[in-house]
Chain A
Amino acid sequence: MLLANKEGIVVTGPVVNLAAPGGVATSVIVFTIPVLVGQLVGLKSVKIRKVTLHNNAAGNTTVLLGIGAVGVGIPAILPALDSLNGLTDSYNADEDFPEVESFANIVAWGAVIAAGGTITCQLEVAVIG
């Protein structure tokens, strides 16, 4: 009876645009914790497995993930991830950043995003609980 422990169910978040000019004030939700209020017992958390960033003329910059409210962003839960102008960057928990578990909605923001540019962000997470 070796049961699933911290592995969780893998799901993806929505494709979200991080807007100019960047900074915590532009942070937006990139993954929403499943809420079971009114249904069953079961507090859910998520472990980030993968972060994919596509830089749409946003300039060379970094993207941060946090668990603050929308527009607040901090505290960050990962080191800044590089996003290179015009390129797609993909980061994996197993190699590129530590495993992080979050009990709150995850937000993201670009450090600085060039006017007219955006960074498209999508998470893959494992839902635990």
Chain B
Amino acid sequence: MPDLYIFKAQVGMFDPVALQNHNVRIHYLQTVHYRKVDFLEGIPPFQCIDITAGLGLAAVTPSGRAIIVNLEMADNEFGLWRWYPIDDAQIRLYHPAGIAKYQLRNLQVPVDMNILFRDPNLVSTEIAVWQNNRPAAEAVNGHAFALGAVRLIAIGYRFHTVDLESGKEANPELVKAIKMGKEPCTDIWCSGRGIGD
């Protein structure tokens, strides 16, 4: 069995969390889906959003919350993403759009350009997106001058899955074995979680 798991640190492109025919347990908020990967591919680094939508961001100002539609996936697919900003703002991530990511009791931890020096593998930025479930971001410009844009670069994987609980690929025995811990399965957390939830 390959040594695959989330938040893996290594030199070079990070590993996928599952390979062909691997079982995954997708958690989205309080729902759980048992599925099997039947296709995956790497996604090269790309600019997924300008949070300011081309308008720039005024000095010492937070932006509105922008849904990152380019990180959403098609039906039956989840994406695994690591990301970083290329403009000097602090970024707050939400996933889905109403739930803060990187949320501590007293602070929602922001990400800025220093992430490339402090966490070169971008391990701590890793998120998974289940179908079209709306990752979103806000930018905070702490400078005394306007920023021309606040752009994010993402890199990751696209996974297509089949449903093990219903439909033509249904396999109740396998799902039961996974639940009992008798078959390997990787947990994929595809949302944040509210404090106290």
* Residues of A in contact with B (beta carbons under 8 Å apart): 1-3, 5-6, 40-43, 45, 101-104, 128-129
Given contacts A41-B46, A45-B149, contact A1 B122 (CB under 8 A): yes
User: Which of these binds chain A: B34-42, B47-55, B134-142, B169-177?
Assistant: B47-55
B 77-101 binary contact with A (CB < 8 Å = 1; else 0): 0000010101000000000000000
- Asked if B116 is an interface residue, CB under 8 A from chain A, the answer is yes
Range for the number of chain B residues in contact with chain A? 20 to 34
Q: Please count the residue pairs between chain A and chain B whose beta carbons lie under 8 angstroms apart in the complex.
A: 49
Chain B residues at the A interface, C-beta cutoff of 8 Å: 11-14, 45-50, 54, 56, 70, 82, 84, 86, 113, 116, 120-122, 148-149, 151, 153, 155
Contact status of A43 and B84, CB under 8 A, knowing A1-B14, A2-B116: no
In the assembled complex, 27 residue pairs joining A and B whose CB atoms fall closer than 8 Å, in A order, are A1-B11, A1-B12, A1-B13, A1-B120, A1-B122, A3-B153, A5-B84, A5-B86, A5-B113, A6-B86, A40-B46, A41-B46, A41-B47, A41-B48, A42-B47, A43-B47, A43-B50, A43-B149, A43-B151, A101-B148, A103-B56, A103-B149, A104-B148, A128-B86, A129-B86, A129-B149, A129-B151
